[in-house]
Protein backbone atom coordinates (compact mmCIF):
# COMPACT_ATOMS: atom_id res chain seq x y z
CA UNK A 1 0.00 0.00 0.00
CA UNK A 2 1.25 3.45 -0.94
CA UNK A 3 0.32 6.65 0.89
CA UNK A 4 -1.29 9.46 -1.11
CA UNK A 5 -2.60 12.93 -0.51
CA UNK A 6 -5.66 14.23 -2.35
CA UNK A 7 -6.72 17.85 -2.46
CA UNK A 8 -9.95 18.73 -4.18
CA UNK A 9 -12.11 21.82 -4.61
CA UNK A 10 -15.91 21.81 -4.47
CA UNK A 11 -17.93 24.49 -6.27
CA UNK A 12 -19.28 27.46 -4.29
CA UNK A 13 -22.79 26.80 -5.60
CA UNK A 14 -23.16 24.25 -2.79
CA UNK A 15 -24.68 25.52 0.43
CA UNK A 16 -22.98 25.04 3.78
CA UNK A 17 -25.40 22.17 4.49
CA UNK A 18 -24.68 20.39 1.18
CA UNK A 19 -20.88 20.39 1.56
CA UNK A 20 -20.68 17.58 4.18
CA UNK A 21 -23.00 15.37 2.13
CA UNK A 22 -20.92 15.96 -1.01
CA UNK A 23 -17.65 15.22 0.80
CA UNK A 24 -19.20 12.01 2.10
CA UNK A 25 -20.12 11.03 -1.49
CA UNK A 26 -16.53 11.62 -2.60
CA UNK A 27 -15.17 9.66 0.37
CA UNK A 28 -17.39 6.67 -0.44
CA UNK A 29 -16.38 6.97 -4.10
CA UNK A 30 -12.72 6.71 -3.05
CA UNK A 31 -13.40 3.83 -0.67
CA UNK A 32 -15.26 1.97 -3.43
CA UNK A 33 -12.12 2.30 -5.56
CA UNK A 34 -9.90 0.76 -2.86
CA UNK A 35 -8.71 3.71 -0.78
CA UNK A 36 -8.36 3.68 2.99
CA UNK A 37 -8.81 7.25 4.22
CA UNK A 38 -6.67 8.02 7.27
CA UNK A 39 -7.24 11.76 7.64
CA UNK A 40 -9.66 14.31 6.22
CA UNK A 41 -9.26 18.04 6.73
CA UNK A 42 -11.73 20.77 5.77
CA UNK A 43 -9.77 23.86 4.71
CA UNK A 44 -12.90 25.98 4.24
CA UNK A 45 -14.11 28.30 1.53
CA UNK A 46 -11.30 30.22 -0.16
CA UNK A 47 -10.78 32.43 -3.18
CA UNK A 48 -9.47 30.61 -6.24
CA UNK A 49 -6.25 31.74 -7.89
CA UNK A 50 -8.14 32.08 -11.18
CA UNK A 51 -11.78 31.60 -12.19
CA UNK A 52 -12.83 28.00 -12.84
CA UNK A 53 -16.14 27.56 -14.66
CA UNK A 54 -16.95 31.19 -13.82
CA UNK A 55 -16.49 30.54 -10.07
CA UNK A 56 -14.26 32.78 -7.95
CA UNK A 57 -14.43 30.71 -4.73
CA UNK A 58 -14.40 27.05 -3.76
CA UNK A 59 -14.50 24.69 -0.77
CA UNK A 60 -11.07 23.12 -0.26
CA UNK A 61 -10.68 19.60 1.20
CA UNK A 62 -7.51 17.63 1.96
CA UNK A 63 -7.41 13.83 2.34
CA UNK A 64 -4.64 11.46 3.32
CA UNK A 65 -5.21 7.92 2.14
CA UNK A 66 -3.55 4.61 1.47
CA UNK A 67 -4.15 2.66 -1.70
CA UNK A 68 -2.61 0.33 -4.21
CA UNK A 69 -0.97 2.21 -7.09
CA UNK A 70 -3.17 0.34 -9.57
CA UNK A 71 -6.31 1.87 -8.01
CA UNK A 72 -5.17 5.47 -8.51
CA UNK A 73 -6.12 5.44 -12.20
CA UNK A 74 -9.67 4.40 -11.25
CA UNK A 75 -9.85 7.20 -8.67
CA UNK A 76 -8.55 9.73 -11.22
CA UNK A 77 -11.29 8.73 -13.66
CA UNK A 78 -14.00 8.83 -10.99
CA UNK A 79 -12.93 12.28 -9.74
CA UNK A 80 -12.53 13.66 -13.26
CA UNK A 81 -16.07 12.61 -14.15
CA UNK A 82 -17.61 13.77 -10.87
CA UNK A 83 -19.79 16.88 -11.33
CA UNK A 84 -19.13 17.91 -7.72
CA UNK A 85 -15.36 18.44 -8.11
CA UNK A 86 -13.95 21.59 -9.73
CA UNK A 87 -10.29 20.55 -9.48
CA UNK A 88 -8.33 17.81 -7.74
CA UNK A 89 -4.79 16.55 -7.41
CA UNK A 90 -3.44 13.28 -6.07
CA UNK A 91 0.20 13.15 -5.04
CA UNK A 92 2.38 10.46 -3.49
CA UNK A 93 3.04 11.28 0.13
CA UNK A 94 6.60 10.30 1.00
CA UNK A 95 7.16 8.27 4.13
CA UNK A 96 9.58 10.10 6.43
CA UNK A 97 12.37 8.30 8.21
CA UNK A 98 12.94 8.77 11.93
CA UNK A 99 16.04 10.87 11.23
CA UNK A 100 14.05 13.21 8.97
CA UNK A 101 11.33 13.62 11.61
CA UNK A 102 13.96 14.43 14.26
CA UNK A 103 15.64 17.02 11.99
CA UNK A 104 12.29 18.71 11.33
CA UNK A 105 11.49 18.83 15.05
CA UNK A 106 14.92 20.32 15.82
CA UNK A 107 14.42 22.94 13.11
CA UNK A 108 10.97 23.82 14.47
CA UNK A 109 12.44 24.19 17.96
CA UNK A 110 15.20 26.53 16.71
CA UNK A 111 12.66 28.63 14.82
CA UNK A 112 10.44 28.85 17.91
CA UNK A 113 13.40 30.13 19.97
CA UNK A 114 14.21 32.77 17.33
CA UNK A 115 10.58 33.92 17.28
CA UNK A 116 10.59 34.28 21.06
CA UNK A 117 13.82 36.29 20.93
CA UNK A 118 12.35 38.61 18.29
CA UNK A 119 9.20 39.06 20.37
CA UNK A 120 11.26 39.94 23.46
CA UNK A 121 13.36 42.40 21.47
CA UNK A 122 10.22 44.10 20.21
CA UNK A 123 8.81 44.35 23.75
CA UNK A 124 11.86 46.08 25.32
CA UNK A 125 11.19 49.71 26.17
CA UNK A 126 12.57 52.39 23.87
CA UNK A 127 14.70 53.89 26.66
CA UNK A 128 16.92 50.80 26.80
CA UNK A 129 17.44 50.68 23.04
CA UNK A 130 19.95 53.06 21.44
CA UNK A 131 18.36 55.26 18.85
CA UNK A 132 20.55 57.99 17.37
CA UNK A 133 18.86 61.36 17.24
CA UNK A 134 19.61 64.42 15.15
CA UNK A 135 21.05 67.39 17.02
CA UNK A 136 18.32 69.81 17.92
CA UNK A 137 18.52 73.58 17.73
CA UNK A 138 18.14 75.41 21.02
CA UNK A 139 14.59 76.45 21.69
CA UNK A 140 13.82 80.17 21.93
CA UNK A 141 11.09 81.96 23.77
CA UNK A 142 8.94 84.36 21.72
CA UNK A 143 10.63 87.37 23.35
CA UNK A 144 14.13 86.14 22.47
CA UNK A 145 13.00 85.42 18.91
CA UNK A 146 11.56 88.93 18.59
CA UNK A 147 14.84 90.47 19.79
CA UNK A 148 16.88 88.48 17.28
CA UNK A 149 14.60 89.47 14.41
CA UNK A 150 14.88 93.17 15.39
CA UNK A 151 18.67 92.89 15.55
CA UNK A 152 18.82 91.34 12.07
CA UNK A 153 16.53 94.02 10.66
CA UNK A 154 18.63 96.84 12.21
CA UNK A 155 21.82 95.45 10.69
CA UNK A 156 20.27 94.93 7.25
CA UNK A 157 17.52 97.45 6.56
CA UNK A 158 17.14 96.17 2.97
CA UNK A 159 15.75 92.85 4.08
Sorted by sequence, the CB contacts under 8 Å of residue 106 that are 6+ apart come out as: none
CATH class of 2-92: alpha beta
The residue-averaged pLDDT of 99-118 equals 92
d(CA 63, CA 78): 16
- % of the chain surpassing 70 pLDDT: 91
Q: Is the pLDDT of residue 107 over 60?
A: yes
pLDDT tens for 48-86 read: 999 999 999 999 999 999 999 999 999 999 999 988 899
pLDDT at 16: 87
Of the given ranges (7-16, 111-120, 125-134), which has the lowest mean pLDDT? 125-134
Give the pTM: 0.61
* Residue with the larger pLDDT of the pair 96 and 126: 96
Handedness of CA 23, 25, 30, 34 (dihedral sign): positive
d(CA 65, CA 6): 8
* Residue with the larger pLDDT of the pair 82 and 133: 82
DSSP string covering 70-107: HHHHHHHHHHHH-TT-SEEEEEE-PPPPHHHHHHHHHH
* Residue with the larger pLDDT of the pair 159 and 58: 58
Amino acid sequence: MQRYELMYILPPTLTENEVPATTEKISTLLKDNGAEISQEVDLGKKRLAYPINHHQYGYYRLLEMSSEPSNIAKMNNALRLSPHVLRYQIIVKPVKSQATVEREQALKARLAVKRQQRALAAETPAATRYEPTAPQAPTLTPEELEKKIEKILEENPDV
